[in-house]
């Protein structure tokens, strides 16, 4: 008789300035803010994919490694809103859509074709209008980038490759799950299909 193990699943709005890890296993990260400060997650909880310290938005967590593996696969789209330096051009959007060359751990890599569009209104999502810099430093614009891959700091590298460095990065969707909760909030769910 096989015993069915009960797993727990969580949706988190990761705030800016937090690492995508629950406990501090490395002494060099003594002064870093960790997800375990936001909620009392059960033992064996893991983040599904990561958002770097300066990125924010939707992060899924689970105690089930199989679920983690499936969601990190190319079957699930991940959508990001990137606030970029300057008013992004049609040419840059087209380059991003077709794939651009970036560096991954010292090796050149061409990103897969993806969905990219200019967006003018980000108010549908519950993230604060955090000021990334003063308007005196020039215009900024928002772009939506939807990927089926997730290389190290990929979106930031992609926008920089076309001349529009990312100033702020927010993941707003994983598959059909949208960012709906406020920054720093955690919601436990029965599974990720609801």
Say yes or no: 154 and 185 in one domain: no
Say yes or no: 97 and 139 in one domain: yes
DSSP secondary structure letter of residue 57: E
Q: Is 52 a catalytic residue?
A: yes
pLDDT tens digits for range 141-166: 999 999 999 888 999 999 999 999 99
- C-alpha 100/C-alpha 118 separation (Å) is 17
CATH number of the domain enclosing 156: 3.30.70.1560
CATH number of the domain enclosing 38: 3.30.70.580
Nearest to 127 by CA among 80, 180, 188, 175: 180
54 lies in which domain range? Answer: 9-72+178-189
Burial 160-179 (b: 16+ CB within 10 A, else e): bbbebebbbbbbbbbeebeb
Domain membership of residue 1 (yes or no) is no
Contact 183, 126 (CB under 8 A): yes
Q: Single out the catalytic residue among 40, 52, 124, 134.
A: 52
Domain membership of residue 109 (yes or no) is yes
pLDDT tens digits for range 80-117: 999 999 999 999 999 999 999 999 989 999 999 999 99
Tokens 């770097």 belong to residue: 52
- The domain total for the chain is 2
Say yes or no: 66 and 128 in one domain: no
Domain membership of residue 3 (yes or no) is no
Domain membership of residue 40 (yes or no) is yes
What are the tokens at 193? 């299909």
pLDDT tens digits for range 63-76: 999 999 999 999 99
């Amino acid at each position: 008789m096989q015993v069915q193990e009960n797993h727990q699943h969580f949706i988190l709005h990761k705030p800016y300035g937090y690492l995508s890890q629950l406990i501090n296993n490395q002494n060099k990260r003594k002064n870093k803010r960790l997800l375990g400060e936001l909620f009392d997650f059960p033992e064996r909880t893991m983040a599904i994919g990561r958002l770097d310290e300066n990125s924010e938005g939707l992060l899924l967590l689970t105690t089930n490694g199989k679920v983690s593996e499936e969601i990190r696969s190319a079957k699930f789209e991940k959508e990001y809103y990137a606030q970029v330096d300057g008013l992004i051009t049609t040419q840059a959007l087209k380059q991003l859509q077709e794939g651009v060359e970036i560096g991954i751990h010292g090796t050149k890599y061409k990103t897969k074709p993806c969905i990219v569009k200019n967006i003018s209104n980000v108010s549908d999502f519950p993230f604060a209008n955090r000021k990334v810099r003063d308007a005196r430093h020039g215009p900024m614009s928002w772009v939506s980038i939807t990927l089926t891959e997730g290389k190290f700091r990929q979106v930031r590298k992609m926008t920089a490759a076309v001349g529009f460095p990312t100033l702020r990065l927010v993941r707003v969707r994983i598959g059909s799950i949208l960012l709906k909760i406020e920054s720093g909030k955690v919601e436990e769910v029965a599974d990720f299909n609801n």
